[in-house]
Amino acid sequence: MADSTRDNRQHSIEVVVDLKTTLGEGPLWDVAQQALYWIDSADGRIFRSTAHGEQIRAWEVGQKIGSMALTQDGAGAIVALQDGLWRLDFGTGELTLAVEIEADLPHNRLNDGTVDRAGRFVFGSMDTMEESASGKLYSYSPDGTLSVLDEGITVSNGPCFSPDGSTLYFADTWTGEIWAYDYDVHTGAVSNRRTFATVDTSGGGAADGATVDADGYLWQALVYGGKIIRYAPDGSVDRVIDFPVRKPTSVMFGGPDLDTLYVTSMAKPPLPRFPGDGQLRGSLFAVRGLGVRGIPELRFGA
């Protein structure tokens, strides 16, 4: 990546919570509760804290978890587990199956997800060995309708929407590309898939979790590459932030002013071929002073 894109501004990177999550993922800031959620995909846990990492609460879900979205009433969440979507009641910790998915593919699991402007949960699946293109991109509506948006995917990652909700961004991690689709908010249909950006994998990194800021720029964690990349709406690289760990996994703006970029990381790589990290591995980080604000994340069923 060109040196001119390096972010030399006076931002700060600090550890908010040091839990050594095996596979930290999915930071989610809820504006109504002023609370931060994130997950440990490998250990099947959901965490919640304040903006500064205080008052930590945790829930066990008993399976690998790929992502989550708060339900409309804020009393629970829709969670993407190994074998389907489940509803989690925060008060009791009880899980209720919403829809079984890919039960015939034992080596697959559900992964990253987000909510569209109509309250649908858009998420993908992946091959746990990260080799077979057996995954799909799905949409699950509040009325219980499950739709397949795309298929032939190895590792689903980084679904997020443009500020007006009309463009869906998505990455199949090992293709080296971020895709953009035209998205019909009224029907939930996608069309016109195209390459939005080509990911620089020369340093061993790959596209992971992503979010879009209020200016329409896409931020993405370059897992195994130790960087956070900001892409302009035309797909060009706008900023490159070097990170203190090699395995940042996902990003989300949060905090009272939506101007803090929360970044999850993993303590242990899922496969032996991937690099390890130092003492800060698995931490939840906050990047402050970026001069950028995010977009409030929506709830399922909105």
Q: Report pLDDT for 15.
A: 97
Kind of pairing, strands 76-81 and 65-70? antiparallel
Q: Is the torsion defined by CA of 15, 19, 23, 25 positive or negative? A: negative
Under-50 pLDDT residues of the chain = 1-4
Buried b / exposed e along 108-117 (16+ C-beta atoms within 10 A):
bbbbbbbbbe
Q: Which CATH architecture has domain 3-288?
A: 6 Propeller (2.120)
Q: Report pLDDT for 213.
A: 98
Catalytic residue among 127, 172, 208, 259: 208
Q: Report pLDDT for 267.
A: 92
Q: Report pLDDT for 198.
A: 95
Q: Report pLDDT for 204.
A: 85
Q: Report pLDDT for 43.
A: 96
Domains in the chain: boundaries = 3-288
Q: Report pLDDT for 283.
A: 96
Q: Which long-range contacts (CB under 8 A, 24 or more apart) does 268-274 make?
A: 268/22, 268/23, 268/42, 269/224, 270/23, 270/42, 270/128, 270/130, 271/129, 271/130, 274/224, 274/247
DSSP 225: T
Q: Report pLDDT for 3.
A: 45
The verdict on whether residue 109 carries a ligand-binding annotation is yes
pLDDT tens digits, one per residue of 196-245: 999 988 888 999 999 999 999 999 999 999 999 999 999 999 999 999 99
Q: Report pLDDT for 201.
A: 86
The verdict on whether residue 208 carries a ligand-binding annotation is yes
The verdict on whether residue 157 carries a ligand-binding annotation is yes
Q: Is 259 a catalytic residue?
A: no
